[in-house]
Structure 1
C-alpha cells in the first residue's frame, strides 16, 4: 500500500468517527438510549456478512468462544455503557463539550496506571496538568453558550471511562480472536443491552425499538452503522499497518475539532465560546502529551 493511500484511509476514518455526533443530533425527536440501541442494532446487522466471510477464510479456532463468554459479555457491557452515556450527553451539553470529554480517556488510562503504581513519565504529568486546566477553563462557558452543562460534561466523561474498560478487555481478546469474530458478539451484546435499557428507561418513546427501519431515520442510522461504525474503524485499522500507532492516536485527538465543525456546518450546534476553545485546545494538547508518553513507555517495555 502506498503512503498516500494509508493517509487517505486515516483521513476517511477520522472523518467517519468525527461525524457521528452531528448526525445523532439531527435525530432530535428520538430519545438517547433508543438512538444508541438503533446504532448498534444496525452495526450488528452490518457486521454479520463480514464475520461469516472471515470465518470461511480464517482458522475456526479464532471464531470459537473457548471460555471467553464472560469477558466478551463484559466488553459488550462497557461498549453499551459508552454509547448510552455519550449519546445521552449530547442532549445534556454542547456537542463540543461532549466530544472533548468523551475523548478524554487517555487521562483516565493514566489515572488507572497511577492507581496501579505504574511509572508515569514527565510528559504524561504535564499532559494531565494541561488537560485539567483546560477542563476547568471550559466551565467558563457553561452558562453562556450552546447549552453546555456540567452534568452533561460528567456524563460524557463517564462514557470515556466506559470505553477504557472496553479497550482494555478488547486488547486482550483481540490477541486470540480475529477482528469480526470479536466485534460481532460484542456489538450484538451491547445492542441487546441498550435495546432492553430503552424499553425500561424510555418506555413512552414513540420512536419504537426498531423505529430506525422506517423511512424517517433509516438513512441516518444506516450512515452511523456504515460510516462511523464500519468504514471509520476499518479504515483506521487499515492505516495502522502503514502509519505509526502514535501518529494515528494523535490524529484521533482532533475528533472534537472536526466533529464541532461538522455540527456547526450542519446547523445542529453553535460555535463554541472562547473558554471552550481555549480549554479544549489545552485538553487536546494534554491528551497528545499523555499519548506520546504512553507510546514511549510501551516501546521501552517491549523486548527487542
Structure 2
C-alpha cells in the first residue's frame, strides 16, 4: 500500500474517532445532535449529489419506500448511539459499535441463510465475550447509567445493520452519494418530527453547540469521502480492518480531551472485542471454511 493511502486511512479514522468526542462535548440532547448531524451532512453532500441529480427520477416507488425505511433505521442508529455516549464511556460505546460486521453476519444468516464458517463462529464468541466483560465492569446496582449506555450502543448496532440491509439490498445501481444524501435527509426529518413531538428546543443554542453540530457532520463526511476515494487502490477488506482503529482512537482522544480512563475490565473486554472482530474480518476476507 502506498504511503499516501496509509496516511489518508489514518486521517479518516481520526475524523471518525472525533465524532464520539463531539457528542460528549455537546450539552444538547441526543436526538437534537443526531438531527443536525444528519441534516448538516445532507447539505454538505448537495454539491456532489447535484452531478447525479438524474438518478432521482429513475427510482421506483418501492425503492423510495426502502430508502425512507432505511432513513428511519439510520435515525434510530444515531439516536441510540448518541444517547449511549451520554450515559457510558467513549471506550465502551465505540467498542460495542465495532460489532457491526458481526451483527450483520448474524442477521444475514438468520434472514438469508448465508453460510457461516467455524472460524466466524469462534470470532463471534470471542467478541461477545468481550462485550459481556465490558458490561460486567459497567454494571452497578446503584447506578445503571453506564450499563444502559452499553445496551443502547448495541441497539444502535442492530439499527445500523437494519439500515444497511434494507437500503443496500433494495436499491441497486444508485450512486453512493445519492443514496447517502437521500437516507441522511429522511433520517434528519424523522428526528425533526421526533423532536417536535417531544418538544425539544430546536434553535436556541449557543455558537459552541452549533459548531459542534457542524463538526459532527463535517468530520465523518470527510472520512467517507476518503474511504470512497481509496477504493480504487485499497481493498474494502483493508478499509474494514482500519475501522477497528476507531475505538482505539476515540478512547485515546477521550483520555486526552475528556480525562476519561479505562478500568481493567473495560480494557480487557475492549481488547477481546477487537480481537474477535479482527479475526471475523480476516476469516471473511480469506473466505476460508474450517
Tell me the CA shift for residue 211 of structure 1.
4.4
When the two chains are superposed, the root-mean-square deviation of aligned CA atoms in Å is 2.3
The equivalent residue for 1:32 is 30
Q: Pick from 80, 83, 86: which aligns with 1:85?
A: 80
| Other structure's SS at 2:208 match | coil
Q: Deviations over 1:111-136 (max 9, x none)?
A: 22332432211221111111122112
Q: In structure 2, what is the equivalent of residue 10 of structure 1? A: 9
Asked whether the equivalents of residues 128 and 290 of structure 1 are also in contact (C-alpha less than 8 Å), the reply is: yes
Distance 1:89 1:157 in 2: 9
1:62–1:192 CA distance, 2 compared to 1 (3 A): closer
Structure 1 segments, 4+ long, off by >6 Å, are none
**Structure 2 stretches of 5 or more lacking a match?**
none
How many correspondences in the alignment? 285
**TM-score, reference length from structure 2:** 0.90
Query: What is the distance in 2 between the residues matched to 1:21 and 1:275?
Result: 21
Describe the shift of the 1:51–1:210 C-alpha distance in structure 2 as closer, same or farther (beyond 3 A).
farther
Residue from 258, 261, 274 that aligns with 2:252: 261
Match of 1:122 among 118, 124, 128: 118
Question: Which residue among 216, 225, 230 is the counterpart of 1:224?
Answer: 216
Shift, 1:174, TM fit:
6.1
In structure 2, relative to structure 1, the CA distance for the partners of 1:233 and 1:173 (3 Å cut) is farther
Q: Contact conserved, 2:28 with 2:209, CA < 8 A, in 1?
A: no
| Residue 66 of structure 1: aligned partner | 60
Contact 1:173 1:182 in 2 (8 A): no
Give the conservation status (yes or no) of the 8 Å contact 2:98–2:274.
no
Q: TM-score if structure 1 supplies the norm length?
A: 0.86
- The offset of 1:4, in angstroms, is 2.4
CA distance in structure 2 between the partners assigned to 1:186 and 1:23 by the alignment: 22
Contact 1:38–1:209 (8 Å) recurs in 2? no
Structure 1 residue 44 corresponds to structure 2 residue 42: yes
**Residue 113 of structure 1 aligns with which residue?**
108
Aligned residue for 1:286, secondary structure, equals helix
Is it true that 1:134 corresponds to 2:156 in the alignment? no
Whole-Å separation in 2 of the counterparts to 1:174 and 1:270: 41
* 2:168 equivalent among 167, 171, 182: 171
